[in-house]
Amino acid sequence: DAGVTQSPTHLIKTRGQQVTLRCSPISGHKSVSWYQQVLGQGPQFIFQYYEKEERGRGNFPDRFSARQFPNYSSELNVNALLLGDSALYLCASSPRIEGETQYFGPGTRLLVL
Amino acid sequence: GNSVTQMEGPVTLSEEAFLTINCTYTATGYPSLFWYVQYPGEGLQLLLKATKADDKGSNKGFEATYRKETTSFHLEKGSVQVSDSAVYFCALSRIQGAQKLVFGQGTRLTINP
């Protein structure tokens, strides 16, 4: 089975622009989570979605939003990009919401100039 | 709140040396504990996990034991290889309406031949 896939792999934007990142979970997984990993640090939780509903949100501004589609894929949107948004954005999926291991995709590397 | 503290890096060892990477955590209740590994330019891969006290997770020669009394989950390997060079992240997971992973800052490991 294919693992978690993310697109695009790399992205360059300028300050003030908007970006959309995409994630397809492992087949059969209904939960998708997003993490931001700034260079040299551990990943930070942004959102979790389960059955198309937001189930958790980390300490990120309202410029960050996400949604989950009926096929359980997900998009992360970031508006009004700042230089500090430059990071590796990781998507993780799990079968359900409770007590499950999360499996990560390869990430999308975003550079904001 | 929940947090994870990892041994400061970077760590440099010779091939076949013994490895320990320390990890301690702060959490309410009984979290699940994980070690993830990140190879250069890639996303996170689950290395091992433990879901309750005294459980031992193991994979690819790596081991870690969930120690509730010392709130620790130290990673060990008896004989490291050059291919083990990567960044290692300790993480905990709590179910509080959302299943989010809380990561340590990561420990960069370099193995010299």
Query: What is the model's pLDDT at position B30?
Result: 82
Query: What gap in Å lies between CA B45 and CA A105, rounded to an integer?
Result: 9
Helix (H) or strand (E) holding B109: strand B107-112
Above 70 in pLDDT, residue B89? Answer: yes
List alpha helices for chain A, DSSP H: none
Query: What is the model's pLDDT at position A40?
Result: 87
SS3 content of chain A, % helix, strand, coil (to 5): 5, 50, 45
Contact A48 B99 (CB under 8 A): yes
Above 80 in pLDDT, residue B65? Answer: yes
Above 70 in pLDDT, residue A1? Answer: no
Give the pLDDT confidence of A56-88 residue by residue, as tens digits.
899 999 999 999 999 999 999 999 999 999 999
pLDDT average, residue stretch A13-38: 96
Q: Name the percent of chain A lying above pLDDT 90.
A: 84
> Which residues of A, range 46-65, sit inside 8 Å of B by Cβ?
48, 55-58
In chain A, how long is the greatest CA-to-CA distance? Answer: 39
Query: What gap in Å lies between CA B17 and CA B110, rounded to an integer?
Result: 12
Could you say which DSSP state residue B16 is in?
A: T
Residue to mutate among A24, A45, A47, A109, with most B CBs inside 10 A, is: A45
Query: What gap in Å lies between CA B71 and CA B90, rounded to an integer?
Result: 13
Average pLDDT of chain B, as a whole number: 92
Query: What is the model's pLDDT at position B95?
Result: 60
Query: What gap in Å lies between CA A42 and CA B27, rounded to an integer?
Result: 17
Helix (H) or strand (E) holding A78: strand A74-78
Above 90 in pLDDT, residue B15? Answer: yes
Q: Which two tokens stand for residue A14?
A: 């300028």
